[in-house]
Structure 1
């Protein structure tokens, strides 16, 4: 939509001069504070905040939701349409999920109060893990207290300096951090390019003790999916493990929401390691690993992020187990989600908006071409009663800055049409202002 942070050359020069003057006028910090100001990225954060203030942009992040954040939410005392939450199946706030959490809360209290290995184990943990394993049709599963920490601790613990980790360039930060922690050789291949992945694996597999390919089932930035059968075949040809992060795929992909293996019609056992999070379709919190019984037993007794971390709060485990039960009992929720996302994608394309490679399954980005343009559009939409978050540099390249819309089975057709109409109006207004300025 725009380039150069959405500003003309003259406007950029004027902004830089204003920021430079502010920097000169600022009193030097004390020694201790100065040390923290030297932390990586701190100066960039300061510059972004000051630039946003100079441009009259509000901070779109950390807005407090004052109730249940579903298809609508209340922020600042005002109800708005909500496209900023992962509640894909509309189960956050479902009375049955709340009742399951309340029952566990009354029985076990708020906290597990210890590592599960020590004395934090509760029956609800095993029940959740059995349900997850059955969901994938694999031997066993293990639940961790944090989704991000699941990838960090499993990858960091499973692989080592003599190993190779090959991952999609768009992989989640948690996978990248886990790979870095492991000390393994780490190679990124272009997003969703299975041919490039095989070239890299063929070139480097011989020198590695073990090899692991890591992909996502449904990419959270772009809303697209990989060719799972191709990656399975590559892993088998080159004696590598395949790990699939299903954080945004569970409850979304496949006719009944079982994930990317159902979408492609392949046996889930063809994937060596299934990872998922409970905070999206299952409206809880935490991460899961599912797969071979030997793998799960080994992680249960040795993964640092499990052994040395408090057990998942029983109420959250119970809530996610109940949400999974409802997913299986009510597959029509997956169908409604698919309809809603497909409608949003079609309307956005008809409005001439750039939706990238989105498959229209639950996540639809609208790429606008600069971080300032994305922030401005997010603010303009919020003023029009639509809550959607901008994704800005450095999370994505500035030229790929975007608004990221999360769809839900709970959204109504009228809400989706109203949101796209507001978006198209805001984009048209921004383009007119740019042309005039």
Structure 2
């Protein structure tokens, strides 16, 4: 299938061996199902998963009964001496955390002792009370890092970015200690905002010190009561919070489904506001470029068509796509060859591809001026630290080729090659892999809760580190391991990792795609 797509002209192989979409992004067809994969959960696996959670729930109630009656020691937070008070919180709200999450939390909360580069040092620890408390052993294990958002490999302590950051520390210090409206705007911030706007191809931008706050505090500056938001059902929590804080009416649309989006927009315009049926003051579509749990890429050309047809606004979160997609690393807009001016609000973070922190919103000068005046993150929060801003400037200049080298383009191409290589090989091994072929997020479905911990622990023992995710971050029956690609990975590293993943998949039995193929 992959070779056939290449022959049809969807991808090309360059002289340096990298495989990447051709410069004409229009060749990427939205209706080509081979690019995006979402397998149905096998029925027997779904039944087994529900049975596992049922057993865990039953034993959880038994353990809670024993704790209440003093048969076993309880480590949970409990209110004492509050006679006459209504309970401040309900114990059952932490039932899942107490009885299920704790059993495998050693996989989800491991201390790291190094930078998130190609290899990391994971601190070793032990627990004698089933993961309620840990004791550090003083030892660490060096493993290949397949779980960090270091997409372009800029998270490192040497090289031109690190040198520029070190120099900026001597010049500016390590913090700003003021908002951008007071004493917190430095020349490096002005340089960064101008560079972001140039990189994205828009008029202006504003940067913030925290990516989560970029969404949650700025959406309320744009919409309010009487407005309507269409939000993808798998949008990030920061987008969900920002939409809720705005006071606007929110309609959730099916994930990455332009047909459902257009249907609901049409119905909303016809019906108008609830009760009054007056026209909506404003309609805004909120989507992500790459969805971090699914590995899917937004069908941006279709969404832009709908937005124009119904005079809606478009808010695009490029946290996981900026730097990681497109022939120039300019995100999903670049990936499809769309005009950035067709997106009203371009949002992104610097924590993934740039090895830094913070976020940005970019668009027209008039829009950015409004956000700069009204945003709570601009008015009340400290500006982004100068060394962090310098890290972003240095990384972005390398990506854009302003450093006079081809390093940025090589990183973009290496990430694209790594992504496709791992996607193809995992599927050949028999794993069910979600998402788009060019997404740097590669989710491998594990389903059964007991296999979440087993998969991560055995991988770690064999020298590969990744992130495992379960309920409530995913649907109950769609627990997964999430591999994140990086330009810092060489083919030799990936081959070794794939060999280990293949072995572990056989050991714990999570090659569900292979089972389906055998049956057919």
Shorter-chain TM-score above 0.5: yes
Structure with higher helix content = 1
Question: Alpha-carbon deviation of 1:402?
Answer: 0.4
**Structure 2 residue aligned with 1:75:** 122
Looking at structure 1, the residues matched to 55 and 477 of structure 2 have their Cα atoms a distance apart, in angstroms, of 20
What's the secondary structure of 1:98's corresponding residue?
Answer: helix
Match of 2:429 among 351, 359, 369: 351
CA gap 1:288/1:9 in 2 versus in 1, 3 angstroms? closer
Question: Alpha-carbon deviation of 1:188?
Answer: 1.0
Looking at structure 1, the residues matched to 58 and 95 of structure 2 have their Cα atoms a distance apart, in angstroms, of 19
Kept in 2, the 8 Å contact 1:225–1:359? The answer is no
Match of 2:315 among 243, 252, 273: 243
CA gap 1:12/1:114 in 2 versus in 1, 3 angstroms? closer
Looking at structure 2, the residues matched to 113 and 9 of structure 1 have their Cα atoms a distance apart, in angstroms, of 51
Match of 1:264 among 336, 344, 349: 336
**Structure 2 residue aligned with 1:366:** 444
CA gap 1:34/1:75 in 2 versus in 1, 3 angstroms? farther
For residues 276-298 of structure 1, what are the alpha-carbon distances to aligned partners after superposition, in whole Å with 9 as ceiling and x for unaligned?
00011011100100001001011
**Which deviates the most, 223-232 or 176-185?**
223-232
Matched, 1:164 2:234: no
Kept in 1, the 8 Å contact 2:214–2:360? The answer is yes
Looking at structure 1, the residues matched to 246 and 69 of structure 2 have their Cα atoms a distance apart, in angstroms, of 43
TM (normalized to structure 2)?
0.78
**Structure 2 residue aligned with 1:435:** none
**Structure 2 residue aligned with 1:385:** 463
**Structure 2 residue aligned with 1:90:** 153
What's the secondary structure of 1:187's corresponding residue?
Answer: strand
Kept in 1, the 8 Å contact 2:440–2:486? The answer is yes
What's the secondary structure of 1:399's corresponding residue?
Answer: coil
Kept in 1, the 8 Å contact 2:418–2:489? The answer is yes
Question: Alpha-carbon deviation of 1:306?
Answer: 1.4
Which protein shows a greater Rg?
A: 2
Looking at structure 1, the residues matched to 430 and 359 of structure 2 have their Cα atoms a distance apart, in angstroms, of 38
Question: Alpha-carbon deviation of 1:373?
Answer: 1.9
Question: Alpha-carbon deviation of 1:182?
Answer: 0.4
Kept in 2, the 8 Å contact 1:145–1:287? The answer is yes
Kept in 1, the 8 Å contact 2:354–2:392? The answer is yes
Looking at structure 2, the residues matched to 35 and 15 of structure 1 have their Cα atoms a distance apart, in angstroms, of 22
CA gap 1:328/1:107 in 2 versus in 1, 3 angstroms? same
Looking at structure 2, the residues matched to 237 and 373 of structure 1 have their Cα atoms a distance apart, in angstroms, of 47
Looking at structure 2, the residues matched to 11 and 275 of structure 1 have their Cα atoms a distance apart, in angstroms, of 40
Question: Alpha-carbon deviation of 1:5?
Answer: 6.2
Looking at structure 1, the residues matched to 225 and 53 of structure 2 have their Cα atoms a distance apart, in angstroms, of 48
**Structure 1 residue aligned with 2:113:** 66
Looking at structure 2, the residues matched to 184 and 158 of structure 1 have their Cα atoms a distance apart, in angstroms, of 10
CA gap 1:10/1:284 in 2 versus in 1, 3 angstroms? closer
CA gap 1:430/1:37 in 2 versus in 1, 3 angstroms? farther
Aligned length: 427
Matched, 1:30 2:80: yes
CA gap 1:104/1:34 in 2 versus in 1, 3 angstroms? farther
Unmatched 5+ stretches in structure 2: 1-44, 124-139, 274-279, 402-407, 511-520
TM (normalized to structure 1)?
0.92
CA gap 1:397/1:320 in 2 versus in 1, 3 angstroms? same
Question: Alpha-carbon deviation of 1:39?
Answer: 7.5
CA gap 1:176/1:40 in 2 versus in 1, 3 angstroms? farther
**Structure 1 residue aligned with 2:173:** 109
**Structure 2 residue aligned with 1:223:** 295
Matched, 1:415 2:493: yes
